[in-house]
Chains A and B, each alone.
Chain A
């Protein structure tokens, strides 16, 4: 079955960096676009970034553009999110999610999430 397992969350000071990983199994990773979506404590869902199946296209929300970078290693079935210049408002659970198809901007399966806390 489809599995997505995020890791790399933790506590970081404002201005710091963190790299999240998402290891996937149960589907052909290089056939699908992938997304990151976050959820601040007690709040709703906010889409963060997406990368096409082959890494040729990446998109970001305005709130993270220029600070976060999405990437993938298709040989290792792993998605990444490099987060720099972190702010307290980036505190959230970060979910990786599988796109419906290789170019899709919609998602079907989600991981369990990893918590990022930005605080001094």
Chain B
């Protein structure tokens, strides 16, 4: 099983300021097909998860461009360039290189 480790587990951000979440995997997520199977989801309060980013850096349909993903191999980062009130929620990374596993989640709060 690939273990996904996120940090920090919580962060409080002033609106308009940036935020960054790290995700590290216990094995490389680069597959033999050249693709890297790392995804980011957000679960807003009382809602089901929503896909934000696929394969490290591809924003999903309708996701604002203030969200960006980067990284390679085992180290990945989700960045929000300017946090807005609606960004409150828990952010999860997930790998699908092998059977899916999720990070513990990072709770984003607004100051």
Of A68-76, A83-91, A103-111, the one with at least 4 CB within 8 A of chain B: A103-111
Would you call B69 an interface residue if the criterion is a C-beta within 8 Å of the partner chain's C-beta atoms?
no
Collect the chain B residues with CB atoms within 8 Å of residue A95's CB: 48-49
A51 to chain B, nearest CB (A): 13
Consensus secondary structure, chain A interface: strand
B62 to chain A, nearest CB (A): 11
Decide if A110 touches B94 in the complex (CB within 8 Å): no
Would you call B104 an interface residue if the criterion is a C-beta within 8 Å of the partner chain's C-beta atoms?
yes
B53 to chain A, nearest CB (A): 11
A46 to B1, CA, bound (A): 13
Query: Binary interface profile of B, 14-50, with partner A (CB < 8 Å = 1, else 0)?
Result: 0000000000000000000000010101010000111
Q: Which residues of A come within 8 Å of B, CB atoms? A: 35, 37, 44-47, 50, 59, 61-62, 95, 100, 104-113
Other CB < 8 Å A-B pairs besides A44-B90, A44-B102, A108-B60, 17 of them? A35-B100, A44-B92, A45-B92, A45-B94, A45-B102, A47-B99, A47-B102, A105-B37, A105-B96, A105-B98, A106-B39, A106-B54, A106-B96, A108-B51, A108-B54, A109-B51, A110-B50
